[in-house]
């Protein structure tokens, strides 16, 4: 009787509230993804400029990327558990407003340590979207999950590209502070749009208390296949963030001599992800997880080899092939995460995101030592070895997984 009464209340509330149209809801998820990833890697095309302005080493300025990803890694599991308790939209919207404020405050930095601090604060807000919104989509759009998921992933890919491109363009024609002002305004507008258009959750069932969520996370740590997939995520972002971070230093030097705008334009290759990501699901259905992992890692290794060339067109082709392989690996890993977790998916997503962004942080930091010792070729060798590690973890996590099992929609996305 009590359950019937609660169902009646939910139905009444759902009918009483203003209904958001489906197209606006889809647009809201796309905007949420785009706004989040406008920020995460936006300093990559500015690193050579920061090195000159602050008279700092490659390692020091790379922390403007690494600090953000480190913050994501630290907070993701706690945000996932928190969202299991209080709800999805109640976390997503404040996180977007938090990103807008911290992005605007980044423009006030007067030193490199201050800049790194505000970049870390930006990263604290990111898991409020990426560790929560996919669970929201799966719960609230039953029967149309694929459509909404594709829109969100496309938004993250576009945001990842546009954030880098825009900062490089604005910094070249104005200055780096103005780049953060522009990004902050875009984030603020996006936060208001998501607040207005994203429907309130009606299918969310909260955990009884946060300790229940903590118990779920601890249970995931005992799942060896899930840990292998988390290891796969670690190596994926290690390679990608490290490669694109130190490629900017390489391409700012002779014979390339690219400006921040030119470096930002390199990230047009990310738009290939809008094509590759939907195709990855179909290829998974046809070839299975392990075979797809082999093909995607093969593509990353070919791309890395091309990136050693002294010809800019060859390097761009290499970046395109490399990042396409990464997109396929990431899509495969997100699908597998949901399958091997089985339950408490927000908690599993938070755990995966922690490993994933920890890899991104270490990729920027460890590669600095290789850059100092052996330059760009040494960095490429490091990323090649790490990519082989991706394949190793993929084979561990994907054992006994057939094509039919991997046909599910991804439960998380961590755009790159």
* Tens digit of each residue's pLDDT (9 = 90 or more) over 314-337: 999 999 999 888 888 887 777 677
Predicted confidence at residue 285, as pLDDT, reads 66
3 state DSSP class of 77:
helix
C-alpha span between 371 and 402 (Å, rounded): 40
**115 or 351, which is more confident?**
115
What is the tens place of the pLDDT at every residue in 89-117? 888 999 999 999 999 999 999 999 999 99
For 162: left if phi > 0, alpha if psi spans -120 to 50, otherwise beta; the answer is alpha
The sign one gets for the Cα dihedral 243, 248, 252, 258 is: positive
**39 or 413, which is more confident?**
39
Q: Quote the crossing angle between the two packed helices 89-106 and 22-39, to the nearest 10°.
A: 40
Q: Give the start-to-end residue ranges of the domains of the chain.
A: 19-407
pTM passes above 0.75: yes
**Res. 416 pLDDT band, cuts 50 70 90:** low
Q: Fold for domain 19-407?
A: Growth Hormone; Chain: A; (1.20.1250)
Predicted confidence at residue 214, as pLDDT, reads 61
Mean pLDDT within 373-389: 95
Does residue 415 register a pLDDT over 90?
Answer: no
Cis omega (within 30 of 0) for bond into 279 = no
**Res. 273 pLDDT band, cuts 50 70 90:** low
Q: What is the DSSP string of 1-23?
A: -HHHHHHHHHHHHHHHSPPPPHH
């Amino acid at each position: 009787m009590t359950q019937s009464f609660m169902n009646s209340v939910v139905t009444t509330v759902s009918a009483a509230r203003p209904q958001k149209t489906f197209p606006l809801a889809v647009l809201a998820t796309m905007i949420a993804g785009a706004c989040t990833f406008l920020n995460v890697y936006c300093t990559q095309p500015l690193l050579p400029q920061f090195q000159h302005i602050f008279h700092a080493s490659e390692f020091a300025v790379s922390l403007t990327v690494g600090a953000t990803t480190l913050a994501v890694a630290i907070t993701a599991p706690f945000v996932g558990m928190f969202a299991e308790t209080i709800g999805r939209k109640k976390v997503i919207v404040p996180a977007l407003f938090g990103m807008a404020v911290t992005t605007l405050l980044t423009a006030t930095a007067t030193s490199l340590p201050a800049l790194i601090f505000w970049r870390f604060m930006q990263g604290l807000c990111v898991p409020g979207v990426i560790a929560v919104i996919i669970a929201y989509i799966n719960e609230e759009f039953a029967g149309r999950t694929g459509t909404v998921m594709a829109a969100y992933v496309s938004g993250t890919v576009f945001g990842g590209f546009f954030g880098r491109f825009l900062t490089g363009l604005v910094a070249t024609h104005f200055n780096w502070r103005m780049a953060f002002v522009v990004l902050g305004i875009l984030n603020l507008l996006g936060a208001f749009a998501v607040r207005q258009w994203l429907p309130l959750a009606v299918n969310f069932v909260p955990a009884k208390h946060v300790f229940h969520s903590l118990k779920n996370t601890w249970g995931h740590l005992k799942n060896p296949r899930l840990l292998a997939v988390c290891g796969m995520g670690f190596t994926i972002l290690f390679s990608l963030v490290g490669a694109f971070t130190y490629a900017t230093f390489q391409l700012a030097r002779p014979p390339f001599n690219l400006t921040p705008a030119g470096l930002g334009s390199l990230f047009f290759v990310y738009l290939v992800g809008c094509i590759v990501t939907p195709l990855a699901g179909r290829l998974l259905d046809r070839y299975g997880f392990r075979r797809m992992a082999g093909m995607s890692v093969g593509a990353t290794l070919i791309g890395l080899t091309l990136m050693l060339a002294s010809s800019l067109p060859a390097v761009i082709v290499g970046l395109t092939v490399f990042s396409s392989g990464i997109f396929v690996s990431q899509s495969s890993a997100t699908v597998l995460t949901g399958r091997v977790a089985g339950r408490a998916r927000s908690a599993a997503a938070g755990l995966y995101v922690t490993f994933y962004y920890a890899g991104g942080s270490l990729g920027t930091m460890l590669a600095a030592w290789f850059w100092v010792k052996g330059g760009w070729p040494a960095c490429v060798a490091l990323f090649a070895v790490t990519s082989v590690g991706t394949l190793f973890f993929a084979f561990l996590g994907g054992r006994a997984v057939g094509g039919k099992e991997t046909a599910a929609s991804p439960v998380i996305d961590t755009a790159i």
